[in-house]
A and B are shown apart, each in its own frame.
Chain A
Amino acid sequence: MNRIDPQSIYALWLRDVKRFLRTPSRIVGSIALPLLFLLFLGTGFSGAAIPGLPENVEYLQFLVPGMVGFTMLFGASFAGMSILSDQEVGFLKEILVAPVSRTSIVLGRIAGGSTTALVQAVLILVLAIPLGFRPTGLLALPLAAVFLVLIAVTFVGFGIALASQFSDTEGFGLIVNFVIFPLFFLSGAMFPIASLPDVIQPLAYLNPLTYGVDGLRAVLVGSAARSVAIDAGALLASSIVMVQLGAALFERVESV
């Protein structure tokens, strides 16, 4: 039983991708909320003077990277938490009883969840173009992909860690309201963090998504609060920490 088993990781990845592609309603559902945000916030605030917004950046340009980050946050966290729904339908036992290390299972889950979250984020990015979004250049896209992958890995790991603490999907609503939405609001996705009250700002800087959104903004629209290197570094660190955390907590799931 190798600690890292590529074929098992591939099997888990393939399963996630097949399930995702086979259920169009899931794809539509996953991008509907960020798309609505984009549509209504992007048009509704288009002429408004948002405090702290860089002068030469339109609100839509500012918002799109934020909404892409939001899509990743949701898609990836739910992908990580899908071990709970697997448990509910019994399929988790089939995975846990197989001669595969827990690390490989977590990596497979991350591979699958990241892929489906990436597809959702790219869809949002593409759908933003008819609304008037213009990325700085084609070179921006591969760089953005790096940030998307790091965000995905961070939050799938986060989702696995969360799911390991819950025994059923009942906790989902609680997590969405008290964990995922606060992460979203504290990420600078909709407005600059500088506009937040001073007491809350430090929380935003503890949020990995803050660096993800800022990094996406840097590469997609050329406007950022920090240097790209700091964003990438912070996100890389958070992805490593979250994978370790997810794997460690999931490891404990086996030996209840």
Chain B
Amino acid sequence: MDTIQVENLRKEFESVTAVDGVSFAVEEGEVFGLVGPNGAGKTTLINMLVTLLNPTAGSATVAGHDIVDERGAVRDSLGIVFQEPALDEELTGAENLAFHGRLYGMDAATRRARIDDVLDLVGLDAERDDPVGTYSGGMKRRLEIGRGLLHRPDVLFLDEPTVGLDARTRRDTWEYIQGLNDDSGVSIVLTTHYIEEAERLCDRVAIVDEGEIVAVDTPATLKGDLGGDVVTMDVSGPIDRLLDDLGTRRWVEEATYSDGSVRVVLERGETRIADLVRIADDAGVTIDAVEHHETSLEAVFLALTGNTIAESEGETQADTADRPAVAVGDTVNGQPPGDPAETARSEPADPGGQS
């Protein structure tokens, strides 16, 4: 059975359609990514799935329970780590977990045992009795992930799990999420606007743009649909002999020549550069420069939407009107999503999603 099923889900805020009729399913035990720029509607979508917002139209089930008619059961079966920390900084780590455990109806013995397990799992055992206000950003994130797992949910939602973390903590968090999925088998739904994050973590991704899902598949398939890596070589000499030779190689999908450079489409280009140089050499062709362009989800996003993620963030306005009064949902989306200065400031350590 699919852990999550979404049918034509739609959310309108006054004049703005934040989520425009999306459908997808998340399989049991997979890591599913919602990838798209800030303001694409990812957080609104998550907030509907975790019952914080009512959909305008459409339906969805989480662990088999309807998100509108069976809110209690849905809430019981999910854990969530919000984009912004949702911890009580005056309480200690253990107290935050105990609060959570009580709200989720655990008796004292179960609560104690699980709190110990979870603190051990997220490596915060030594700091369990320190106020959360003294924790670093990475520690808070780990505590929240632990808290999301405390009641053993069927599915864990992670909304932009590494925003605002430094490069090292981000990599640690990735490894942690990966390990978690491997060990516990919990289904994970994460939103991200970091392409690299989606490629590293997700079994399947949905590309979200302007409130719609434009593609759902494994990162490899999505990239494969683009045809693979491209190696370009600036060359001079007997080009035809080179092209003929390349045409006989099984690992070359396509080889073309224009304006003094040969363009070769192939899988895993980085492993074939030496071969390409040798073949060119054998053909008597002189190489002036070689460039390797890896296909990335960034390229997929570009091909599907006509924009890079960064460009989309510069122009989209989808979520600015996201929150009416008493913002129970995502206050984060209340800020203008397209402010490039803000993006630069909050993500000092982007490891470079566009390799």
B→A interface (CB under 8 Å): 50-54, 71-73, 75-76, 78, 80, 82, 84-91, 95, 98-100, 102-105, 147, 323-329, 331
Contacts and interface: CB of A to CB of B under 8 A. Distances in A.
A167 B80 contact: no
Interface residues of A, number: 34
A254 B328 contact: yes
A99 B102 CA distance: 10
A91 interface: yes
Interface string A218-241: 000000000000000000000000
A253 interface: yes
A11 interface: yes
A67 B144 CA distance: 42
A164 interface: yes
Contacts, number: 103
Contact of B86 (A8, A10, A94, A164): A94
A200 interface: no
A164 B104 CA distance: 24
Interface string A1-23: 10001011011001100110011
A240 B326 CA distance: 24
A98 interface: yes
A99 B76 contact: yes
8 contacts: A1-B76, A87-B327, A90-B87, A94-B147, A95-B103, A97-B50, A98-B100, A256-B324
A92 B328 contact: yes
A82 to B, nearest CB: 11
B102 A8 contact: yes
B327 A167 contact: yes
Q: Of A14, A19, A91, which is in contact with the most chain B CB atoms at under 10 Å from its CB?
A: A91
Given A18-B95, A93-B86, A256 B328 contact: yes
B327 A96 contact: no
Contacts of B50: 97
Nearest to B83: A90
Nearest to A168: B327
Contacts of B147: 94
Contacts of B98: 11
Contact of A15 (B53, B85, B88, B331): B88
Given A19-B90, A87-B327, A97 B105 contact: no
B90 A22 contact: yes
B43 to A, nearest CB: 11
